[in-house]
Amino acid sequence: MLQHLSIRNFATVDKLEIDFEPGMTAITGETGAGKSIILGALGLTLGDRADKTVIRPGASKTDLSAEFDIQDIAQASDWLADNDLQLEGDARTCLLRRVINDDGRSRAYINGSVVTLANLKTLGEMLLDIHGQHEHQSLLRRSTHIRLLDEFAVESKLLAQLHSTWRQWQQNFQQMDALRQQSADNSAESQLLSYQLIELDEMNIEAGEIEKLEAEFKSLSHADDTLAAVNSALAYCDESEDGNASSLLNQARSALERLPAQSGRLTTIKELLETAGIQLQEAVSELNAFNAEFDADPQRLEAINERLGDLHAVARKHRIKPEELIDLINDLRSQLDKLENCDAELEKLAANDKLLREQYAQLAGEVSKQRKKGASKLAKAVNERLQALSMPHASVEVSLSATDPDKLAQQGLEAVEFLVSTNPGQAPQPLGKIASGGELSRISLAIQVITAQTSHVPSLVFDEVDVGIGGGVAKVVGEQLRQLGERAQILCVTHQAQVAGQGHHHLLVSKQSDKKSTLTRITKLEGEEVIKEVARMLGGETYSAESLAHAEQMVANS
């Protein structure tokens, strides 16, 4: 629901703040007062095209914003969430803003975020519909026709199943199509992967092999230095005749044992020397074992050097580090497995495609039956309303045309279009070809009144809905607008007192002029003010007591 409209420097408005309420709001004023200001501002806020001529003379830009309560408009809430444009901390409010600069450029905002004009228009069409002007007129779009018919005639659960099945089929088809395109290139890619794997498998690369070979190569490369160091260590520890660590430790222990008196501290020292001697003998044993096992084989060194060279060469070929070769082998094998399983996956997707097509055909067939049955009922009900709206020769037809059965469409097996004939003998034509804005408004009104109980209607604006009709018909129009206002928010620009008197709320548009400028003002009327405005519409500026009484009765009867 539209809650607030803010207008800055637009046409003849310098600054205007308008609050809106649920129900039907009548918008009236003298001819030329600027009643179209509200509609123009709303249209631009919802994404209509604009140029710098809309800017009030003397200003540098026009700034328009509209606030909507969207808690009951699930489609808009979902769209905002999908596009990450929700208002932080307030999921029920949506703020639209449009700024038009004097260079002709404009900027669009949704909840404070800059968006494209296309996004603003897409969301705007979910929030408000203007009837009577070709801008934002949803009844000029076929997508609205099929939505209204489906909401009127088709079970919502069945329709949801159809859309869900179509989405599943679409996703499955896209995967199948992508796999088919990939399969065309699989042969060459499979040959390349197989060649690479054969080359790597022939090398028998083991996990951790690089690290082991490099450590062994380093050791063999310094064999002479290693053996010399080990033998020197053995001499210092146990074999040197000039004195070695082992004999020196024994001498130290013997010197302490010859003492006649042994203190506790000396006993501890003797134990430490004994432990050191044991550890020294263990080290000597390990040195002798290393000496016996160490093989300074030059042929082994050459073989390791050659193997490392091969591993580094193949790693450079694949542009990776040598230690990453095992990961490369696993990755290549995984890719080859996927390519080899491509045919099996295609068969699985093809079987699923057939199953989903059968499910879609069954659901779409049932939807078609309900649409055909509902189309005639909807047309009959709308035409009855048109008779009451002084369009006795007008006839609406809900046309169903079959789509290509091989091309699955989300909406089902047919396209829907509302066609209308306004004169006897005239062939039904699309709504967009109707020349009269007033006729289009009344046809829109008739359709909306009939579908109001089933349609998720947002806020509706009716402009010139009473053009070319008399008082009796105007009364019917007003009653139908008020009836529609019980289920939706209605804004109605009207010249007819019979229509204005039916409003739940009333806004008066006036114009103030001086020698320098002209300003438009909008005033909310209450009580006696409403009666006086309806009386003015009945009898002009010099309304009489009779017209006041008539106006009072008209408002009271609403």
pLDDT tens column, 395-450: 999 999 999 888 899 999 999 999 999 888 888 988 877 756 667 777 888 888 88
Average pLDDT value for residue range 260-284? 83
Q: Which residues have CB under 8 Å from 157's CB, separation 6+?
A: none
Q: Contact, 488 vs 456, CB < 8 A? A: no
Regarding pTM above 0.75, the answer is no
pLDDT at residue number 153: 94
Q: What is the mean pLDDT of residues 12-27?
A: 91
The reported pLDDT for the residue numbered 135 is: 47
Position 286 confidence tier, pLDDT thresholds 50, 70, 90:
confident
CA–CA separation, 522 vs 430, rounded Å? 36
pLDDT at 137: 66
How far is residue 280's CA from residue 268's CA, in Å, rounded to a whole number? 18
- Write phi, then psi, for 424 (nearest 5 degrees): -60, 140
The tokens describing 380, both together, are 């009959």
Name the architecture of domain 1-132+464-525: 3-Layer(aba) Sandwich (3.40)
Q: Would the pLDDT of 515 be above 80? A: no
Give residue for tokens 């009144």.
449
Token match 């066609």: residue? 419
Tell me which amino acid residue 506 is.
H
Chain segment 35-48, per-residue pLDDT in tens: 778 888 998 999 88
CA distances, 498 to each of 27, 463, 469, 480 (Å): 13, 15, 11, 12
Domain range summary for the chain, segments of one domain joined by +: 1-132+464-525, 189-340, 531-558
Measured distance CA(451)–CA(148) in Å, rounded: 7
Q: Is 409 left (phi over 0), alpha (psi -120 to 50) or beta?
A: beta
Give the Å distances, CA to CA, from 382 to 174, 257, 268, 454. 41, 125, 114, 14
Q: If you average pLDDT over every residue of the chain, what do you get? A: 85
Segment (H or E) for 114: strand 113-115
Q: What is the pLDDT of residue 297?
A: 66
What per-residue confidence (pLDDT) applies to 195?
A: 85
* Spacing of C-alpha 222 from chain mean position: 66
Phi, psi of 432 (to 5 degrees): -65, -15
pLDDT in tens, 119-134: 999 999 889 888 755 4
State residue 488 phi and psi, 5-degree precision: -145, 165
Q: What is the largest CA-CA distance in the chain?
A: 145
Q: Tell me the C-alpha distance between 433 and 224, whole Å.
A: 102
Tell me 55's DSSP state: B
Decide: 367 and 159 in contact? Cβ < 8 Å.
Answer: yes
Taking each helix axis from N to C end, the angle separating 74-82 and 117-127, rounded to the nearest 10 degrees, works out to 160
- Of the two residues 143 and 235, the one the predictor is more confident about is 143
For the stretch 211-270, pLDDT in tens is: 888 887 776 666 656 766 777 787 778 776 667 888 888 888 888 888 876 677 888 888
Q: What is the CA radius of gyration of the chain?
A: 45
How do residues 333-388 score in pLDDT, each as one tens digit?
Answer: 888 877 777 778 888 999 999 999 999 999 999 999 999 999 999 999 999 988 88
| Pair of tokens at residue 337 | 């497995």
Instruction: Tell me what the mean pLDDT of segment 137-147 comes to.
Output: 83
Answer for the pair 339, 190: CB distance below 8 angstroms, yes or no: yes
Are the C-beta atoms of 496 and 537 separated by less than 8 Å? yes
